[in-house]
Amino acid sequence: MEGEPRERKPITGKYNVRENGALRPDEHHIGWSHALQKALDAINWPPDDYQVQVEFGAKIEVTNPGSVIEYHVTLI
């Protein structure tokens, strides 16, 4: 049923700069913070305390120099 806690599965949050606004090179942490919060907002695991692995990733566009176009954070 929707809204009920689901089993524990990896969940990924994303922050897309094309949709949400570009970040300066010294602001990469902001993109990953937004992505982490989106993952936490969507987690819906059964209530408990969890030790998790946090995986940070990015989709980049290479035009020399390259730039990040999407930040990913996965909670495992």
Candidates 6, 16, 71; CA nearest to 43 is 6
Alpha-carbon 32 to chain mean position:
6
**pLDDT score, position 7:** 80
Residue 32, classified by CB atoms within 10 Å of its CB into exposed (0-12), middle (13-18) or buried (19+), is buried
Per-residue pLDDT of the chain (76 residues; tens, 9 = 90+): 566 666 889 999 999 999 999 999 999 999 999 999 999 999 999 999 999 999 999 999 999 889 999 999 999 9
Question: What is the CB-side half-sphere exposure of residue 36 using CA atoms within 13 A?
Answer: 11
Q: What local confidence, expressed as pLDDT, does residue 5 receive?
A: 60
pLDDT at 4 (0 to 100)? 66
